[in-house]
Every structure is written in structure tokens, then in C-alpha cells.
Amino acid sequence: MPISRDDVIAWLSVYGQLLEDHREYLTQLDSSIGDADHGVNMDRGFKAVLGKLPTVADKDIGTILKSVGMTLVQTVGGASGPLYGTFFLQAGAATANKMELSLAEWASAVEGAINGLMARGKANIGDKTMVDALVPALHALKQAIADGIDEHEALRQSASAAEQGMKNTIPLVAKKGRASYLAERSAGHQDPGATSSYLMFKAMVDAWTK
């Protein structure tokens, strides 16, 4: 299952639509343990991303992803801008000059992106952040590829792992970001960053397995 430049653009478009559809939900989650702006910020950022896509649509995958990262850094407020920006900038660096990727190459790019994000945010599994969705998604994707599972099913398993990781943040006490100020009171709430990260992997399934 080669992933083409057009596939990447389709994924970004689907993700942008999911963020718009879930804007109020993400903001509601953030109102419990954050600044109540995650949904608005992510929606605004991806509207800017989609507005710029036509200017890089004829470029390689790395250039497209770097453009996404720079746009998010410039338009998304709070911690989400630098973190998601880092994710896409690192993914862009790993896919420079590529017009097509295998799923294994894509998984490698995602791994580099997550490692960059974790280094930037100093967060680990269990800290009640987007990492709690991203890392399980990556592990599931790599394992499915190693097991020779159908590539569409591999993407579904990856998204399912992200969803479970997102749900696993509910009982956690936040150790990073604004939510950490609440200490024990942050428990019982789903992390909004993990939720928007799950939606990113759901968008891969929606865009690449239909």
C-alpha cells in the first residue's frame, strides 16, 4: 500500500474536517483541565493548514509536512502549536524529497515525529498528554507491520490503540501542562491533546482505507 503525496494531502484534509467536527467537544474536554481553547486552537490551525495546502500540493511529502508544521507553530496557541508543529516538522524531515512512502517508511517517519515531540514536551506515557495516545498507536502500527498484517488492518489497529490510550488518560493525574496545576483534581477527565491525537490516526483510517 504505497502512500502517495495525494494520500498525505487527503489525510490532512480529513483530519482538518474531524477537528472542525469535534471543535466543541475538544474545547469542552479542555474546559475541565485546561484553558478551554484546544478545540478552537486546533480548528483554527488546521483551517490555516488547509488554506496553504494548494501552494505546496505539487511538492514532495516532506515539504508538505514541513509546511503543516510551520503553519501550526504560527497559528495554534498554547502548548499545542509547538508540539503539533514539532510533530509535523520532524515527519517532514524524515520524508524529505519523497513522493511516495511504504507503510513501514510512514511508521518510521511517525516514530521520528513522536520522538521529537516527546523531546520537546518532556512528556512520557502516563503523564496524561497526547503521548498517551501517540505511543500506543505507533507501537501497534509497527507490530502489525512486523506481523505481516494487512496494511489497512494495521492502520485500524493503530487507531484503535490510540483510542484506547486516549481513554486511558481519564483516571490519570496530569504531570505536564496546565492540567498538572490541578494535581489530583485532573483525574477523571479525558486529556484533550490525547483526543486530538487519536483523531489524527482516525483520519489515516478514514483517508487511506476507504
| Torsion, Cα of 6, 206, 156, 62 (10° steps) | 30
Please state the rounded mean pLDDT for residues 13-28: 96
CA angle 172, 176, 36 (to 5 degrees): 85
pLDDT at position 33 over 80: no
Q: Rounded distance, CA 122 to CA 138, Å?
A: 18
CATH at 180:
1.25.40.340
Q: Rounded distance, CA 206 to CA 210, Å?
A: 6
pLDDT at position 51 over 80: yes
pLDDT in tens, 124-148: 898 889 999 999 999 999 999 999 9
pLDDT at position 35 over 80: no
Output b/e per residue, 51-74; b: 16+ Cβ within 10 A: eebeebeeebbbbbbbbbbbbbbe
State the average pLDDT for the chain: 92
Domain that holds residue 159: 3-208
**Domains of the chain: total:** 1
Of 133, 108, 118, 113, give the one whose Cα is nearest residue 199. Answer: 133
What DSSP designation does 4 have?
E
3-state secondary structure of 187: coil
